Amino acid sequence: MPDIEQTKAKARRIREHALRMVHRANASHIGTGLSMADILAVLYGGVAKVDAANPRDPDRDRVVLSKGHGAAAFYACLAESGFFPVERLATFCEDGTALAGHVSHHVPGVDFSTGSLGHGLSLGCGVALGFKRDGRPGRAFVILSDGECDEGSIWEAALFAPHHRLDNLVAVVDYNKIQSFGTVKEVLDLEPFADKWRAFNWHVEVVDGHDHAALAQAFAAVPAVAGRPTVILADTVKGKGVSFMEDKLLWHYRSPSAEQLEAAIAEVRGTE
């Protein structure tokens, strides 16, 4: 089980790095990075069996950030987990960097490049199926966005995984309820969301996506039901941790100014 004090500290550092990265690069998508920082911190705080000292271990768990636009927070998490020096985060989106604005497998610790939505759950199905057929203990963790669940390919994979009893597959939906043009409810309502996954024969855990203990417990329970994949619907707040970014569509796009960055980091450091 993850050490909650450590994962909370890690989440604070992920948020701070991500804020600095998008500020420096004048990049978008800080809101999504902040909303999933706690999920990443717990996943990389003792849940996923990955080892920065042996990043290509064939038996490692695979982590797919299907919402590839959350790259800044993901790279920050990987650097904080020892996959590469944190100084390298400053190259985010710079000329010649590997740290692209959408997740790149050329970055140490990244298994799959993503960016176009709706690809990750199928990648996870392939990994989970391969591990099962080999009789190996590996698992696949796939982090989805809510807006991403508009994509039909997600539901192709959602249909596949329980049919093939992939209980080593875990999807986490960063359910922050905001997508590109407005709220999920306004653009294309997903509710009743948990019921949809249940109807597809998934085991569903609904948790507060900023409650580290609850997240850790949900991950620890996997597989809660033999033969069933697990989806963790993580109830989150877009922009979490920075009061003026929270629940604001604008921060899907805007990059913080120097003053805003300073204020945001002060808030993040004070969080918890």
Least distance in angstroms from the C-beta of 223 to another protein: 18
Residue (75 or 251) nearer to another protein, CB: 75
Cα–Cα separations (whole angstroms), residue 240 to 37, 148, 210:
9, 19, 8
Cβ burial of 182 (10 Å; 0-12, 13-18, 19+) is: exposed
Least distance in angstroms from the C-beta of 70 to another protein: 16
Residue (124 or 241) nearer to another protein, CB: 124
Residue (121 or 242) nearer to another protein, CB: 121
User: Is 31 within 8 Å of 252 (Cβ atoms)?
Assistant: yes
Q: What is the separation of C-alpha 107 from the centre of its chain, rounded to a whole number of angstroms?
A: 16
What's the longest Cα–Cα distance across the chain? 53
Least distance in angstroms from the C-beta of 127 to another protein: 4
Residue (127 or 218) nearer to another protein, CB: 127
Distance between CA atoms of 241 and 152, rounded to whole angstroms?
Answer: 32
Least distance in angstroms from the C-beta of 131 to another protein: 7
Least distance in angstroms from the C-beta of 94 to another protein: 21
Residue (122 or 236) nearer to another protein, CB: 122
Site residues (vs another protein, CB under 8 A): 58, 62, 105, 111-116, 118-131, 133-134, 140, 152-153, 156-157, 159-160, 163-164
Q: Which residues pair with 143 in a beta bridge?
A: 65, 172
Residue (159 or 224) nearer to another protein, CB: 159
Q: Which residues pair with 65 in a beta bridge?
A: 143
Cis preceding-peptide flag for 192 (omega within 30 of 0): yes
Least distance in angstroms from the C-beta of 110 to another protein: 11
Distance between CA atoms of 240 and 178, rounded to whole angstroms?
Answer: 12
